[in-house]
Each structure stands twice: as C-alpha cells, then as structure tokens.
Amino acid sequence: MPAKSEILRARWDDLDLERGELRLADTKAGRTHYLPLSAPALALLREIPRQPGNPFILPGKGPRAAKAGEKTAAPLVNISKPWTRVKKAATLARWRELPQVAELIDRLTEARAANKSKHTACDWDATPSLTEIRAACDTAGLTLPPAIDDVRLHDLRRTVGSWLAQAGNSLHLIGRVLNHSNASTTQVYARFGQDNVRAALEQHGERLLGAAGLKPKAPVVDLPTKHRKAG
C-alpha cells in the first residue's frame, strides 16, 4: 500500500498490466517498490484514459513551469476535492440506511432538480449538501449517524496494515506491503497479532476445561490494549 505522493507520481511506463505490477521508483523508503496489483485495481487502471503528452497515470489539469522556463507535463497534485466527494458519498450511503432519512434526501434532491436553472452546468449534481440534509433532519426531528468527514487518505493505509495483522499475516509481510524502511515502524501492528494470540489461547483454555469437565473459577476479563499510532 503506497503513500499518496507515490501514487500521484506513478507513470504509465511503470505499470505492467500483464504482470499486474506497478513499479514505484521514488518512494519514501528511498528504494524502488514493486507493488502487486489486485484484479479490482487492474480493472480500474484499465478504465483510466491516457492524456496525450502526459506520462502520469493521474495527470494534472495543465502543464507547470519547469526550472528552465519551459512547460512540462504534471501529475495530479491536489486531490482534496475528489476525496471530499468520496467522503460525501460514503456519508450519504450511511445515512440512507435509515428509511426516513433516505426519503428526506430524495425529496430534497427532487426539489433541487425542479429548481434547476437553464444556465446550470450539464454535470450539475442535484444531491443536497450534507449541511442542507442536517438542517432538514433537525427540522424533522431525525437523528443522523456521524458523518464520515474526518477520514484521511493515510488512514486507509493504516487500515490495510491493521487488517493484514488481524488476518494473522506476519509483521515482515505487512512491512513489505506498506514498504516500510524500518521494522520498528511495522511493530505498531503487533498488538493486533497479540489480540489474535490471546483469543486463540482463550479458546484453547476453554476446550481444555471442557474436556476435563471443569468450569472457569472466575470470569475471563479482557486485558487493556495499549494503542499506539500506526504509520
């Protein structure tokens, strides 16, 4: 799971669709990273149109000034707006799980579409903003689940490491996936492995007691886990 900056600088020449691999030469770890790509990732990459004259997989909107005063093709730099749209879509999906809220959102969308001006852009989205939906829900006395608005792209990278650890994968493998240059950086995911070990031992202990016809003399208490910031 590469860092955001590494993905933004990725070039078409570094992508091998046949082998399902992306070569990242400029990484935070200071070494070339060969990233295996899953089938869904390859399918998405095949759908991305190539911009003539721009070697980057995620091209910027226009050329930028080079040191020599010339213009050169540039990668996408600021993805805050697309990421905001992703978080809004995720929040709407969560809110729509409540039937009354889903009905209210549909009514707001229909009202906005009916008031669309002839001068409005063709790709205009009639979906109301989260602020409008919150206000309408407050008026209707409906309680909304928390919005997904505090998630960063780097949190997805941490999620990958956490899920791999919870699935029982080794820290060495997790470090390779995340391209960590220092093993101590990956060590923060060890607590997830410890949770699995503790759960396995608890189950084993229960089976032993059951086989002996015994019961625990005291209830099993979950031990506190010290959470550290994952990289």
What are the pLDDT digits (tens) for 114-170?
Answer: 877 665 555 568 889 999 999 999 999 999 999 988 888 888 888 888 888 888 888
Instruction: Give the C-alpha separation, 112 to 126, whole Å.
Output: 6
Where does the pLDDT of residue 217 fall: very low under 50, low under 70, confident under 90, or very high at 90 and above? low
Same structural domain, 203 and 161: yes
Q: At residue 221, does pLDDT exceed 70? A: no
The domain in which residue 125 lies consists of: 79-140
pLDDT value at position 47? 92
On whether residue 221 sits in a domain, the answer given is no
pLDDT value at position 64? 54
On whether residue 162 sits in a domain, the answer given is yes
Cα-Cα end-to-end distance for the chain: 12
Same structural domain, 131 and 158: no
Contact yes or no for 181/29 (Cβ under 8 A): yes
pLDDT value at position 210? 76
On whether residue 220 sits in a domain, the answer given is no
On whether residue 195 sits in a domain, the answer given is yes
Residue 18, classified by CB atoms within 10 Å of its CB into exposed (0-12), middle (13-18) or buried (19+), is exposed
On whether residue 227 sits in a domain, the answer given is no
On whether residue 230 sits in a domain, the answer given is no
Residue whose structure tokens are 């590469």: 2
On whether residue 167 sits in a domain, the answer given is yes
pLDDT value at position 67? 46
Range list of β-strands (E), the chain: 15-16, 21-24, 33-36, 64-65, 71-72
Same structural domain, 158 and 136: no
Instruction: Give the C-alpha separation, 112 to 107, whole Å.
Output: 9
The domain tally of the chain equals: 3
On whether residue 148 sits in a domain, the answer given is no
